[in-house]
Amino acid sequence: MAPEPWPETPDELKLVQRMLAAETPPLWRPQEGVRLAAGCFICFQRGTTGPGAPGDPGWAAAALIHEGTLAAVAVAYGLASAGYTSGLLALREGPLLEEAVRGLPALPEVLLVNATGRDHPRRAGLTLHLGARLEIPSVGVTDRPLHAVGHWPADEPGATGPLRIAGEVVGYWVRTKRGARPLAIHAGWRTDPDTGVSIVLSVTGKSRTPTPLREARRAAREARAGKHPFSAAAVRLLS
């Protein structure tokens, strides 16, 4: 059965977010490490001003990583159905990101999303929402928190610092590379903050950004520049 359409108005989305936040699905924890992880990322046409508007051309990409190696990339192209509003990112990015992830030849064990999860005014950001729709555990990875606050960790790879909203830990600052700004890691669908940290550290090599997200970001930007050897919504399998 096909999933319900994405919400189309702020009021519809807020209702769905509150419903998702109230759900208590069983927490997911990998038993013996993650063999199949994916990341998804979206970018929009260059040259626009402001936070974004409805109708902006967008390129979403999903990258599938098998035991540390890039296995496949899927790209989806479309027009944003909404501008950017804090807390309502799903209206603008959700449908295209879902299309890209569903274009992969296999769904991953866990999905990394460039968005927040429990760090959200209704405790259900795009990372949680997308994971729930795809029925995949999800972890958010961003440059900064949305509403949560917390001090940066020590400048040591693997160091963490809690991000809290009203005393509740909803994520962590995580230092993935010495001398680089830490990442904000967010609990998402079926994940808690500690699991989010362990997943991110397990799929991050020598770069600051986890491999699945880095490859998805690269693919989205290459698609925007017309550099990909495959068309929008197509899948590239890598040997």
In this predicted structure, what is the pLDDT of residue 233?
39
Helix (H, G, I), strand (E, B) or coil at 58: strand
Give pLDDT tens digits for 6-55: 999 999 999 999 999 999 999 999 988 899 999 999 999 987 667 789 99
Q: Which range (1-15, 52-66, 87-101, 127-141) has the least confidence?
A: 1-15
DSSP codes joined into one string, 124-165: --HHHHHHHHHT--EEEEESS-SS-B-----SSTT-EEEEEE
Q: Which domains does the chain have, with CATH numbers?
A: 34-237 (3.30.2170.10)
Asked whether 73 and 39 are in contact (CB, 8 A), the reply is no
Crossing angle of helices 126-134/10-22, nearest 10°? 70
In this predicted structure, what is the pLDDT of residue 31?
83
Q: Which amino acid type is present at position 230?
A: F
Which pTM value belongs to this model?
0.93
Alpha carbons 58 and 60: distance in angstroms, whole number: 7
Give pLDDT tens digits for 169-216: 999 999 999 999 999 999 999 999 999 999 999 999 999 999 999 999
In this predicted structure, what is the pLDDT of residue 48?
66
In this predicted structure, what is the pLDDT of residue 2?
61
